[in-house]
Amino acid sequence: MALTRLTRKGIIRQVARGLYDYPVDHPALGQVAPSADAIAGALASRDAVRLQPAGGYAANLLGLSDQVPMRVVFLTDGPPRRVKLGRREIILKRTTPRNMATAGKMSGLVIQALRHLGQRYVDDRVIDILRRQLSDADKAELLKDLKYAPVWIGHILRRLADTSP
């Protein structure tokens, strides 16, 4: 009842069943919706599951795509679900343990982004963008996580981790 009273007063707002946040007001935009990462993080901590950004959202996070997806997809080892935020939608898709082995790591984000782009569309421009994003520690992590990537992505990860110009 306390959450219901606070929601009616406008102090908090209900984002999804069991998820609340403090609304943020922007002077020009009005009330701003919470970010997909914030909601996914709250779902992950509440349900004790791991999440890995996937698809177009992973490509957008790495700067490989300018498009911001309306349907943000996260891979999970927990139950699948959908959370609607106005016209946006957050989708949690259950996946295999192999896909979740790199969850929360930069290597997992790179693997999912490359999987979204497809082998045909990975060129030198994409590799240059990724090289600029990755630190030396991230490159070492890529080599450790090669066993979790498809063969064609493994070749690209080796190219990314190569430190010679």
Write down the domain spans for the chain: 25-161
pTM score = 0.85
pLDDT of 14-44, one tens digit each? 888 888 888 888 899 888 888 888 889 888 9
Q: Give the whole-angstrom CA distance, residue 62 versus residue 53.
A: 11
pLDDT of 79-133, one tens digit each? 999 988 878 899 999 999 999 999 999 999 999 999 999 999 999 999 999 999 9
Per-residue confidence (pLDDT) for residue 30, from 0 to 100:
85
Question: Which secondary-structure segment (H or E) carries 114?
Answer: helix 106-117
